[in-house]
């Protein structure tokens, strides 16, 4: 489907702040100060699985996953980057890129569905987004 039909799922819109539009994906910051956490949403209406994208889009997606992960690691000094495309609750295809550290709020388990979200203070969030725009 054409990119022009793309609309961000309301749940993703409510939980995140815009960072950038890359060639394929919208880059969002998850509003949870427990973990530096990006979400990439390919701007392709109707896609719910990676294999719903065509091969050209998949080739871009893996490069954007790599770019987001490496940038987030460099910026935060994370011990490990977690990448996940689950979609059990929000079907719209989206890829989580999460900076993890030993002893963080969910370590060594996954971040999804764990504990209670801790929204950023707006000025902290906006400063972090400025750093992300430079680092990614």
Is residue 72 within 8 Å of residue 78, measured between CB atoms? yes
Give the 3-state secondary structure of residue 18: strand
Shortest distance (Å) from residue 94 CB to a copy of itself? 11
Task: Identify which range of 9-17, 26-34, 59-67, 122-130 contacts a copy of itself by CB under 8 A.
Answer: 59-67
Closer of 16 and 64 to a copy of itself (Cβ):
64
Residue 9 near a copy of itself by CB under 8 A: no
Give the helix/strand (H/E) hosting 100.
Answer: strand 95-100
Residue 116 near a copy of itself by CB under 8 A: no
Contact residue for a copy of itself among 21, 23, 46, 48 (CB under 8 A): 48
112-131 CB burial, b ≥16 within 10 A, e <16: eeeeeeeebeeeeeeebbee
Closer of 4 and 134 to a copy of itself (Cβ):
134
């Amino acid at each position: 489907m054409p990119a022009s039909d793309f609309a961000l799922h309301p749940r993703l819109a409510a939980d995140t702040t815009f960072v950038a539009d890359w060639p394929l994906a919208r880059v969002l910051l998850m509003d949870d100060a427990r973990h530096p956490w990006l979400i990439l949403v390919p701007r392709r209406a109707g896609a719910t699985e990676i294999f719903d994208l065509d091969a050209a889009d998949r080739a871009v997606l893996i490069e954007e996953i790599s770019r987001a992960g490496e940038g987030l690691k460099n910026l935060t000094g994370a011990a490990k980057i977690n990448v996940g495309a689950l979609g059990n609750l929000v079907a719209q295809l989206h890829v989580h890129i999460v900076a993890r550290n030993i002893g963080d709020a969910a370590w060594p388990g996954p971040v999804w569905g764990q504990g209670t979200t801790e929204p950023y203070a707006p000025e902290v969030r906006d400063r972090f987004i400025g750093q992300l725009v430079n680092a990614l």
